[in-house]
Structure 1
Amino acid sequence: MELDHINISAPAALLKVTKDFYCEILQLNVGLRPNLSLPGYWLYSGDLALVHMFESDRHSVAEQLNCLDHVAFKMTNVDALIKRLQDHNVEYIEKRRETPKQTQIFFHDPAGIRLEAIFYGE
Structure 2
Amino acid sequence: MSDQPPIRVKSIDHVTIVVKDLNATRRFYVDVLGMEEVARPNFSFQGQWFQAGATLIHTILEFEGSSPAGFTACANLRGHHFAFLVDDCRASAKRIEQMGVPFVSPPKQRPDGAIQLFINDPDGHLVELCSN
Gaps of 5+ in 2: 1-8
Amino acid at match of 1:34: P
Does residue 1:91 correspond to 2:97, yes or no? no
What is the identity, as a one-letter code, of the residue corresponding to 2:44? S
TM-score, with structure 1 as normaliser: 0.79
Identity in percent: 28
TM-score between both structures, scaled by the size of structure 2 = 0.73
Aligned-pair CA distance for 1:105: 0.8
Q: Distance in 2 between matches of 1:101 and 1:4?
A: 27
1:77 deviation in Å?
2.2
Which of the pair is proportionally richer in strand? 1
Taking only aligned residues, the RMSD between alpha carbons, in angstroms, comes to: 2.4
Structure 1, unaligned runs of 5 or more: none
- Shift of residue 41 of structure 1? 0.9
Q: Is the 8 A contact 2:14 2:57 kept in 1?
A: yes
Displacement of 1:38 in angstroms is 1.2
Deviations along 1:57-115, whole A, 9 cap, x unmatched?
A: 3424668x569521111111223311221012222222113x53210011111100111
Q: 1:17 aligns with which of 8, 16, 24?
A: 24
For the pair shown, which has the larger CA radius of gyration, 1 or 2? 2
Aligned length: 115
